[in-house]
Amino acid sequence: MNKDLAISELTERFGTKLNVSTADREQHGQDESSHAVRLPDAVLYPTTTQEVADAVQICARNRMPIIPFGAGTSLEGHITAPHGGVSIDLSMMNRILAVHEADMDVRVQPGVTRQMLNTHLRDKGLFFPVDPGAECTLGGMVATRASGTNAVRYGTMREQVLSLKVVTATGEIIETGNRARKSAAGYDLTHLFVGSEGTLGIVTEMSLRVYGRPEKLMAGVCHFPSLQAAIDTVIATIQMGLPVARIELLDELSIRAVNSYSGLKHREAPTLFLEFHGATEAVDAEVHTFSTMAAEAGGSEIQFADHQEDINKLWHARHQLYYATRAMAPGKHIMTTDVCVPISRLGDCMLATRRDMDESPITGTMLGHVGDGNFHTILLADPNSLGEMRALEELHDRMVTRAIEMGGTCTGEHGIGIGKQKYLEMEKGPAVHLMRQIKAALDPIGIMNPGKLLPGMEAGE
Amino acid sequence: MNKDLAISELTERFGTKLNVSTADREQHGQDESSHAVRLPDAVLYPTTTQEVADAVQICARNRMPIIPFGAGTSLEGHITAPHGGVSIDLSMMNRILAVHEADMDVRVQPGVTRQMLNTHLRDKGLFFPVDPGAECTLGGMVATRASGTNAVRYGTMREQVLSLKVVTATGEIIETGNRARKSAAGYDLTHLFVGSEGTLGIVTEMSLRVYGRPEKLMAGVCHFPSLQAAIDTVIATIQMGLPVARIELLDELSIRAVNSYSGLKHREAPTLFLEFHGATEAVDAEVHTFSTMAAEAGGSEIQFADHQEDINKLWHARHQLYYATRAMAPGKHIMTTDVCVPISRLGDCMLATRRDMDESPITGTMLGHVGDGNFHTILLADPNSLGEMRALEELHDRMVTRAIEMGGTCTGEHGIGIGKQKYLEMEKGPAVHLMRQIKAALDPIGIMNPGKLLPGMEAGE
């Protein structure tokens, strides 16, 4: 690796678009997790695909690591720079290039956030459904195969990406697909890049599916006497094929955190946050069916949000849960983790995890995109207590191992990053060997986000 | 390559499961298209994943090509053996291993056909939606990323596959995923194998999504005064987000072929074959909305099939169209091709193609899974007429080129095989280079279905 030469060539090519100030480097070395921070040597703010390609070529010549950067909101250490290198911050590439209303797709640059896109689409009667908690970029969401509360109905980023423009690890510019809704033409490069965490190339444009806003939308909350009762209701809902748009479970402590952080007054009980989308008659019928099932499990009547403003407030509070939990114990080490299991195992997995948390010294909230079988814990430990920190690690390890043993995955939506590499190996076994072969083929000198996703793969220094 | 040694080692390992008879080889060298036939040197009928792995290892040691074989119903020459080798026929691996009703997924071997699976699921209230025309195997459908009439509502094979057990080109056994509905764990190997046409490995088991049978199902046909009117209705249906389960367009000549082949009496006019799935009220509302739109375009009232038997007959006739067209002119060379474009371009693309067909000496039917923007032509030419054969090639070339120029793909569901390699390059440009790198990484000696999918890649002899 020749860092100095790389930086001098980048400076010559990019001038003030390259920044080596400590403040900038610090902003780009740490995501929202508590994973170890390592700073990049420089931060580059490209504005075009060609600039990204030029930067990659300069870095490739000098074996300089590249860390693609969106909004820095990831949770598994994806943007830290264990080998130094250049953080390529794509936030300046934030233009919405086209909205094809007739085809219900859009073309955007990677620095566009989901909120920007939805604001732009609002008066066209369209929306983009994938909604992780953070104010993240669509590029980052592609990189981590992100998901959110609407995935039970609309799918994750995997289902929304039609095509990607990618700068490869050798600085070539390719387009992985096109705007046709389906294709049997060759290897599915689009889905290879979705979820590759910046380790195979840099996405510089993307075509995404968007959806018509439903005729009717009803959102509300439903309280339950126990976690078991809430989960049983979720499982029954999914198994009967009721097309809920959102069905989110928050445990008692989550509700307490949300109430305190957002000044709300939800009853402190296991609660489902719900949303139904569709034609008026269909939504009314779905609400009726759901209410009957919920009542049988001891659930309350659904308290509906009456106005769009109340609906927004409801979901905003839900999305703030990570920050709300953190605010319960300022200064504590925070770990958030997510797993996903087949829906039939969701009850067993969540209840065993909750029991395990209750029996440990660790405070934590549990919540989930439960319609997918996906749930999270947000765990707090005193960084000065060796006992708490060890208990935290063990709790995490048991939760992830339990999910894998139940036929699930070590992460439903956060990704591997540096935090879950050992679980990738546990879950995928010899398939990780193929991932390594693909990485070596597409990034032969190992400059793309080295040290992430694949266990035991280092930068090719 | 050491063919004799490979065959002697395979004979020693597999005994009578290996067959070198000319009859068997001939059955395995030709699919349902008119592509050039080349026979494999032998046919193997494995019954377990381990047997497949052993066979691959023997072939790899001797650099012997392997051609995975399902039912032989593909349309782009996928199963021909341009370099000889062993056809691995997976039809004996036809067990349904598990039905997880609570999770709505199944585990099957690759030789199970979609019809077998649906027969097995019927009394459980479940069904598998993907339905190419032929009596094909689910393994073949994974390999070609197959689709069919229900894709507009339920998606293609891409959307149904949760995980694959694969024997890699080096004889390793891997599992690409698990039964969780979503995962952010590592590279998406599942989707890399879906559509890889047997060029990266052999699928020996798969987990697939299945769906609850709808409460109400209504199927019928609607005639239109012109192709334009029918297409306009389709585009309006999709753009308004009406969740039709099936919307298939047959042109006038297609109806004539179907009537003649299946003894039916449909009016010989451009026709939509339709199906609506859902709760009773929702289906009734959808039918009403659709009927209103169709009437505005001059469409007839929908003639509904009243009984399940009539519905089956309707769709059976639709699925027979390839054979029905072939029967219009026995002995003629038949070429069937498919393209897929963004829905906003479907009218332009289909009408230009129909005009082009009308102006050429070639007879052909045109039909489509039009809700996806996907349509087919089935073209007949006299193999003894140089003029007709040349016109056929030119017609095909213009159709595919037109679709690519309109932002579409050279194949929506048939795949590349040997028939569409030049169009893969036209459509994907430098992205084909990445496909080659992946192929070289995962099949370094080039034994997996050599000569297919990737242009200019030969067996590593």
| Residues of chain B found within 8 Å of residue A247, distances taken between Cβ atoms | none
Look at residue B327 and tell me whether its pLDDT is greater than 70.
yes
Q: What is the pLDDT of residue B460?
A: 41
Burial of residue A12 (number of CB atoms within 10 Å: 0-12, 13-18, 19+): exposed
3-state DSSP assignment of residue B35: coil
Q: Min CA distance, A57 vs chain B (Å)?
A: 16
Give the integer Cα–Cα distance in Å for A165 and A175: 4
Residue B461: band (very low, low, confident or very high) from pLDDT cuts 50, 70, 90: very low
Q: Which of these, A268, A297, A229, lies nearest to A365 by C-alpha position?
A: A268
Residue B459: band (very low, low, confident or very high) from pLDDT cuts 50, 70, 90: very low
3-state DSSP assignment of residue A110: coil
Q: Give the end-to-end CA distance of chain A in Å, rounded to a whole number.
A: 6
pTM of the model: 0.96
Residue B217: band (very low, low, confident or very high) from pLDDT cuts 50, 70, 90: very high
| Residues of chain B found within 8 Å of residue A453, distances taken between Cβ atoms | 186-187
- The domain made up of B96-212 has a fold known as 3.30.465
Closest residue in A to B405 (Cα) is A178
Q: What is the pLDDT of residue B36?
A: 83
Q: Between helices A49-61 and A3-14, what is the axis angle to 10°?
A: 150
Q: What is the mean pLDDT of chain B?
A: 94
Which residues touch A228 (CB under 8 Å, ≥6 apart)?
A: A347, A351
Look at residue B314 and tell me whether its pLDDT is greater than 90.
no
Residue A211's identity, in one-letter code, is: Y
Testing the interface with A: which of B106, B150, B179, B182 to mutate, by most A Cβ within 10 A? B182
Asked if A105 lies within 8 A of B342 by C-beta distance, the reply is yes
The residues spanned by each domain of chain A are 3-91, 96-212, 216-318, 329-423
Residue A390's identity, in one-letter code, is: R
Asked if B442 lies within 8 A of A427 by C-beta distance, the reply is no
Residue B143: band (very low, low, confident or very high) from pLDDT cuts 50, 70, 90: very high
Residue B228's identity, in one-letter code, is: Q
Q: Which of A79-83, A308-312, B417-421, B423-427 has the lowest mean pLDDT?
A: A308-312
Q: Min CA distance, A424 vs chain B (Å)?
A: 6
Q: What is the pLDDT of residue A122?
A: 94
Asked if A435 lies within 8 A of B183 by C-beta distance, the reply is no
Q: Which residues of A264-296 are buried (b: 16+ CB within 10 A; e: fewer)?
A: eebeebbbbbbbbbbbeebbebbbeebbebbee
B217 beta partners: B277
Q: What is the pLDDT of residue B281?
A: 82
Average pLDDT in the B81-107 region? Answer: 97
Q: What DSSP line would sit under A51-109, residue for residue?
A: HHHHHHHHHHHTT--EEEESSS--SSSTT--BTB-EEEE-TT---EEEEETTTTEEEE-
User: What would the two tokens of residue A413 be?
Assistant: 């939506």
| Residues of chain B found within 8 Å of residue A432, distances taken between Cβ atoms | 186
User: What would the two tokens of residue A206 be?
Assistant: 């993307």
DSSP letter at A17? Answer: G
3-state DSSP assignment of residue B214: coil
Tell me the average confidence (pLDDT) per consecutive run of 10 residues in chain A, 461 residues long.
Answer: 94 98 94 88 98 98 98 93 97 98 96 97 95 93 96 96 98 97 97 98 98 92 95 90 93 94 92 92 90 96 88 88 91 93 95 96 93 95 95 97 98 96 97 98 98 76 34
Residue carrying the six token digits 């009967």: A240
Query: Could you give the angle at the alpha carbon of A198 between the alpha carbons of A196 and A201, nearest 5°?
Result: 95
Q: Which of these, A63, A65, A21, lies nearest to A43 by C-alpha position?
A: A21
Q: What is the pLDDT of residue B110?
A: 98
Which residues touch B22 (CB under 8 Å, ≥6 apart)?
A: B39
For domain B216-322, say whether CATH 3.30.70.3450 is its number. yes
Asked if B172 lies within 8 A of A433 by C-beta distance, the reply is yes
Asked if B103 lies within 8 A of A372 by C-beta distance, the reply is no
What phi and psi, each to the nearest 5 degrees, are found at residue A414? -85, -25
Q: Which of these, A134, A135, A102, A107, lies nearest to A120 by C-alpha position?
A: A107
Percent of the residues in chain B that have a pLDDT greater than 70, as a whole number: 99
Of B185, B374, B453, the CB nearest to A424: B185
CATH of the domain spanning B331-423: 3.30.70.2740
CB atoms within 10 A of CB A117: 21
| Residues of chain B found within 8 Å of residue A178, distances taken between Cβ atoms | 404, 407-409, 427
- In words, the CATH class of domain A3-91 is alpha beta
Q: Which of these, B157, B177, B193, B175, lies nearest to B448 by C-alpha position?
A: B193
Closest residue in B to A426 (Cα) is B185
CATH of the domain spanning A329-423: 3.30.70.2740
Of A434, A440, A453, the CB nearest to B174: A434
Look at residue B227 and tell me whether its pLDDT is greater than 50.
yes
Give the integer Cα–Cα distance in Å for A259 and B403: 54
> Does B216-322 match B331-423 in CATH topology?
yes
Residue B363's identity, in one-letter code, is: T
Q: Which of these, A420, A43, A48, A39, lies nearest to A197 by C-alpha position?
A: A420
Of B176, B180, B438, the CB nearest to A431: B176
Q: What DSSP line would sit under B386-419, residue for residue?
A: HHHHHHHHHHHHHHHHHHHHTT-BS-SSS--TTT
Q: Which residues of A165-199 are buried (b: 16+ CB within 10 A; e: fewer)?
A: bbbbbbbbbbbbbbbbbbbbbbbbbbbbbbbbbbb
- The domain made up of A216-318 has a fold known as Alpha-Beta Plaits (3.30.70)
Q: Which of these, B389, B364, B392, lies nearest to B379 by C-alpha position?
A: B364
Interval B24-78: pLDDT, tens: 999 999 888 888 889 999 999 999 999 999 999 999 999 999 999 999 999 999 9
| Residues of chain A found within 8 Å of residue B174, distances taken between Cβ atoms | 428-431, 433-434
Pairing of strands A86-89, A66-69: parallel
Asked if A373 lies within 8 A of B431 by C-beta distance, the reply is no
Pairing of strands A86-89, A42-44: parallel
DSSP letter at B62? Answer: T
Q: What DSSP line would sit under A253-306, residue for residue?
A: HHHHHHHHHHT----SS-EEEEEEEE-HHHHHHHHHHHHHHHHHTTPPPPEEE-
Residue B456: band (very low, low, confident or very high) from pLDDT cuts 50, 70, 90: confident
User: What would the two tokens of residue A297 be?
Assistant: 């499990």
Give the integer Cα–Cα distance in Å for A118 and A110: 15
CB atoms within 10 A of CB B193: 29
Q: What is the pLDDT of residue B19?
A: 97
Asked if A408 lies within 8 A of B178 by C-beta distance, the reply is yes
Q: What is the pLDDT of residue B457?
A: 61
Interval B233-247: pLDDT, tens: 999 998 888 899 999
Q: What is the pLDDT of residue A32?
A: 84
Asked if A279 lies within 8 A of B279 by C-beta distance, the reply is no
Question: Does residue B189 contact residue A163 with C-beta atoms inside 8 Å?
Answer: no
Question: Does residue B126 contact residue B99 with C-beta atoms inside 8 Å?
Answer: yes
Q: Which of these, A353, A315, A153, lies nearest to A238 by C-alpha position?
A: A153
Question: Does residue A345 contact residue A234 with C-beta atoms inside 8 Å?
Answer: no
